[in-house]
Chains A and B, each alone.
Chain A
Amino acid sequence: MSNKISETLTFECETGNYHTFCPISCVAWLYQKIEDSFFLVVGTKTCGYFLQNALGVMIFAEPRYAMAELEEGDISAQLNDYEELKRLCLQIKKDRNPSVIIWIGTCTTEIIKMDLEGMAPKLENELGIPIVVARANGLDYAFTQGEDTVLAAMAHRCPEQILLIERKKVIQDSNIQNLFSFLSLEKKEETTNKNFEKLKKNPPLVLFGSLPSTVASQLSSELKRQSVQVSGWLPAQRYTDLPFLGDQVYVCGVNPFLSRTATTLMRRRKCKLIGAPFPIGPDGTRAWIEKICSVFEIKTKGLEKREEQIWENLKDYLNLVRGKSVFFMGDNLLEISLARFLIRCGMIVYEIGIPYLDKRYQAAELLLLQNTCKNMSIPMPRIVEKPDNYNQIQRMRELKPDLAITGMAHANPLEARGINTKWSVEFTFAQIHGFTNARDILELVTRPLRRNNNLENLGWSNLTKKETINKI
């Protein structure tokens, strides 16, 4: 075991035979986030079957997404793509009247080279509804990267910053009007004005990454405490509220899988990217805030104490995880940040499997991971890009980790072999960002460990027949 783990971060790349969700799954959370959107997945029955089963109950709540199911006539070009899409989009407009339709391109549209990007602007004109095209297919991307393709496409639709200045005027005008109409609230107005003065100092800051609105406002208020004003989010709650972008705008990511979006914001919208660790776990949140503040030359106040306080609150969970080992099989790109947090919690990470690693976008996170390992004097984990699930299971047999963070395809079989598992998908849907939600991460991580405390002495942790043979 000891020779398996090196003293520096090592990067490997395997065969890419691993299990993950198809990136079109991003519609599941994005349609809920962007309230006035409609997602149309242009694909086959296979895509539809995946969405229907993976999203379970949500399908019955009249979701704002649908399949444009391709039939044989579409594949062999007997039908006209444009006319077909127009027919479906007209129906969507009639039934739902969304502010934007997002076309999700799939493997099939890639292979038959359906020109979605070409058709969208034409149909947009005819229809009077913006159409955004995102190619979230399994040929190129894994799971959460689907969100990345959608946000990158949406970045092109954000209004230009020049308008921002005019808009500010309007806001100020309306503030003055408010002053007149709410004279009784004078005092309150004054304080907000004061805050406004104080906050005005930093240039516009746009955060990108889709988070539940509660978590988004938690992070915004965390920055507000340090007198940093967030001018907008990509995506916003509504498509019509997309943030202003331009060469004066600073941008910062909240999720590790948004490298295309980051690139688009820098190269195409000329924004300035703040490369920071991601606000996952109290350590990550603090580093994230510190990095943003340092860019704006703001001295942070009380941040250290706040982090300490959060750690203090986590004590009961930390006692459970300390010294335990983790193996990330890798499927959602949150792995580096989660591993870094868990190491800081006192766990040992054997392997970080990850579908794709953008070393530039994740640079600050990787550095923090390295420093955390040093500070905790824990050997560096190996990072395996495009892992091979079969090989990983062999390695896991040898290492016998206390916890495997894995997809649902492997969770039950591993449990039957006495290895505790936590489904990785839950980390994508749970609230894990910021100081406030650190406890939720540990709630997830410790759940199998706590379950074990209850079942420990019953004597049936291994529930397979064959395994004894394979062990030798």
Chain B
Amino acid sequence: MKLAYWMYAGPAHIGTLRVASSFKNVHAIMHAPLGDDYFNVMRSMLERERDFTPVTASIVDRHVLARGSQEKVVDNITRKDKEERPDLIVLTPTCTSSILQEDLQNFVDRASITSNSDVILADVNHYRVNELQAADRTLEQVVRYYLEKARRQGTLDQSITKEPSANIIGIFTLGFHNQHDCRELKRLLQDLNIKVNKVIPEGGSVKDLQDLPKAWFNLVPYREIGLMTAIYLEKIFGMPYISITPMGIVDTAECIRQIEKHVNNLVSNKKFNYEPYIDQQTRFVSQAAWFSRSIDCQNLTGKKAVVFGDATHAASITRILAREMGIRVSCTGTYCKHDAEWFKEQVQGFCDEILITDDHTKVGDMIARIEPSAIFGTQMERHIGKRLDIPCGVISSPVHIQNFPLGYRPFLGYEGTNQIADLVYNSFTLGMEDHLLEIFGGHDTKEVITKSLSTDTDLTWNHESQLELNKIPGFVRGKIKRNTEKFARQNNITNITVEIMYAAKEALSA
């Protein structure tokens, strides 16, 4: 047992549901008790999704506990098959079904006889893997299922496209700025005259998965999700993949060079040369290279920062700060414990120390000890920063509704470098400003304003009403006080009691 208040990565089924609901026309059925469908709320609220989230629960209740699910799961699958006509139904185990140890595979086999949709059981164990690992696995599982199916049916066409093309693997619902990143990657590939063959899973159809091998190579922008699929495709179809995250100027260039290498391996007549493009973008299209030369960025030299997040974002941001902006990264860390080796290798030489943990209190303690000028982390670090009065730029999930901006905010590619430069710079300047304000006593003029608008006149609050007033949350207390006093004056009351407070609320609808 572990005493826990907060976690960075969610439970396994969330990962599976993210894959399933990212595909078009795929429905997930959770084998779960009432209330475990909280994923629907997150998707509907955070992503502001217009459509109903294609996730339902086959409810585990007392009866199921006593006599097993029996027909329930099969009935729910066939019912969903009739109602929504999905291409694929993914039966999703949860922590509850992990312990019940019902033979879910058997339900799947039975249900797939009667239903028109394909039915699979997500192969994830709640107690062994977390959200990210589960998503990675489920994506690979779905891809493998459809490619093997196509091979069996003889519909698998292994010839590659005439022109260079790529698959983008690992764009997800509820992923950190994934939608914007995807658009930026498409733009990048377009600039390089490379066609986008398929983007999975977001917006993809499972029927099209058999076309995956047509691409010349796979691009896996995020370390956490998609790598298993890319490795599978390499093993079976010999498709090369690029797993360098194009985040920051140096890594974006490196990613493009890798693309060049793979593309040139497959063409015979003409060779592609992307170097002029990289040069043009770096020096004149992206503003980030110029920004790091400008005197603004000079002021940031040697400032201390702390980075924490998922492996992809934390590693990339660490290198951008250290290599491209001259900021001193005192500590960098990730909660992706399963990928610690890779992470350490990536940030070696770019930071003073490395922290691998999924315990937010350890991260908090580290930040308090180092006292950096800015933090780049998740929503949790943002709150730690608030408490310690240190500005924080959010660079990784876990996320919050603020991290689903409506405007265009990629982290990847050349536009991404601009966004990151803004984020970094704004975090630090705000920090400086804050500091200066403190030195000069701030421009907080609360004192003066209170005097001119003073309400302490003829009215007295008796002891009980004073207590009652103090119970009201701080941010509305002032308003309640003013409204109550206004009401008292209107009614020529001088002594304010609790009853007067309530009466005021009724009268003024405070």
Contacts and interface: CB of A to CB of B under 8 A. Distances in A.
A399 interface: no
Contacts of B56: 17, 390
Given A16-B61, A69-B4, A313-B509, A54 B33 contact: no
Contacts of B3: 66-69, 88, 91-92
A221 B501 CA distance: 12
A463 B10 CA distance: 31
A45 B5 contact: no
Q: Which of B32, B48, B61 has the most CB of A within 10 A?
A: B61
A413 B47 CA distance: 11
B42 interface: yes
Interface in A254-274: none
Given A19-B40, A71-B127, A413 B51 contact: yes
A423 to B, nearest CB: 9
Contacts of A408: 41, 44-45
Interface string B27-51: 0000011111110111011001111
A88 B1 contact: yes
Given A46-B11, A214-B468, A313-B506, A410 B52 contact: yes
B506 A435 contact: yes
A22 interface: yes
B100 interface: yes
A411 B96 CA distance: 27
A111 B99 contact: yes
The binding surface of chain A is classed by DSSP as helix
A72 B34 contact: no
Contacts of A175: none
Interface string A17-52: 101111100000000000000000010111011101
B392 to A, nearest CB: 13
Interface string A198-236: 000000000000000110011001000000000000000
Interface string B486-510: 0000000000001100100111010
A435 B509 CA distance: 12
B509 A464 contact: no
A221 B498 contact: yes
B383 interface: yes
Contacts of A107: 33, 60, 95-96
A68 B1 contact: yes
Interface in B308-345: none
The 3 closest A-B pairs by CB, nearest first: A22-B35, A138-B33, A409-B40
The binding surface of chain B is classed by DSSP as mixed
A49 B50 contact: no
B383 A60 contact: yes
Interface stretch (A123-131, A139-147, A160-168, A366-374): A139-147
B446 interface: no
A393 B7 CA distance: 34
Q: Which of B3, B100, B472 has the most CB of A within 10 A?
A: B3
Given A21-B35, A416-B50, A49 B100 contact: no
A44 B95 contact: yes
Contacts of B7: 45, 48-49, 52
Contacts of B52: 393, 410, 413
Interface in B271-301: none
B44 A49 contact: no
B35 A59 contact: no
B49 A213 contact: no
B396 interface: no
A466 B49 CA distance: 14
A84 interface: yes
Nearest to A25: B35
B35 A20 contact: yes
Contacts of A75: 99, 127
